Amino acid sequence: MAILTKGPRGTQDIMPGDTGRWQYVEQVTRETAGLFGFREIRFPTFEHTELFNRSVGDTTDVVQKEMYTFKDKGDRSITLRPEGTAGVMRSAVEHGLLTEALPVKLSYLISCFRYEKPQAGRLREFHQFGCEMLGADSPAADAEIIAMVNEIFQRLELKEISLEINSIGCPTCRAKYHEALRAHFSARRDELCDTCRERLEKNPMRLLDCKSPICKEIAKGAPTVLDFLCEDCSSHFEELKNRLTSMGISYTVNPTIVRGLDYYTKTVFEFVSGNIGAQGTVCGGGRYDGLIEQLGGPKMTGIGFAMGLERLLLVMEHSGSPFPEETPCKLYLGSMGEAAAIKAAALVAGLRSEGFRAENDLMGRSVKAQMKYADKLSAQYSAIIGDNELSSGLVKVKNMVTGEQHEVKLSLDEDDDDSLLNFLYHTGFAELTDAIEDAGL
List the CATH number of the domain containing 354: 3.40.50.800
- State the average pLDDT for the chain: 90
Q: What are phi and psi of 347, to 5 degrees?
A: -65, -45
Question: Which of 288, 319, 350 marks a domain boundary?
Answer: 319
- How many domains does the chain divide into? 2
Under the banding of pLDDT at 50, 70 and 90, the label for residue 3 is low
User: Among 160-164, 190-194, 227-231, 249-253, whose mean pLDDT is lowest?
Assistant: 190-194
Q: Whole domain around residue 411: which residue ranges?
A: 331-429
With CA atoms as reference, report the closest residue to 48 among 97, 94, 87, 98.
87
Using the predicted structure, report yes or no on whether residue 54 has a pLDDT greater than 90.
Answer: no
| Single-letter amino acid code for the residue at 381 | Y
Of 319, 348, 368, which marks where a domain is finished? 319
Residue 189: band (very low, low, confident or very high) from pLDDT cuts 50, 70, 90: confident
What confidence score (pLDDT) does residue 65 get? 77
Residues 356 and 238 in one domain: no
Look at residue 162 in the predicted model and tell me its pLDDT: 95
In a domain, 183, yes or no: no
> Taking 50 as the threshold, does the pLDDT of residue 13 lie above it?
yes
Q: Nearest-CA neighbor of 185 among 199, 164, 169?
A: 199
> How far are the Cα atoms of 43, 253, 270 from residue 108, in angstroms, in the given order?
9, 28, 19
Contact status, residue 333 vs residue 400, Cβ threshold 8 Å = no
Mean pLDDT highest for which of 122-131, 235-244, 265-274? 235-244
- Enter the pTM of the model: 0.87
Q: How many CB atoms lie within 10 A of CB 2?
A: 4
Q: What's the mean pLDDT in 222-250?
A: 95
The reply to whether 249 and 304 lie within a common domain is: yes
Same domain, 292 and 269: yes
If residue 284 lies in a helix (H) or strand (E), which one and from where to where? strand 281-287
SS3 readout for 29-95: HHHHHHHCCCEECCCCCEEEHHHHHHHCCCCCHHHHHHCCEEECCCCCEEEECCCCHHHHHHHHHHC
CA-based nearest residue to 158, from 295, 403, 323, 338: 323
- Judge whether 89 and 119 are in contact, CB under 8 Å: no
Comparing 162 with 439, the larger pLDDT belongs to 162
Within 8 A by CB and 6+ apart from 377, the residues are 328, 329, 332, 359
In this structure, the answer to whether residues 141 and 270 fall within a common structural domain is yes
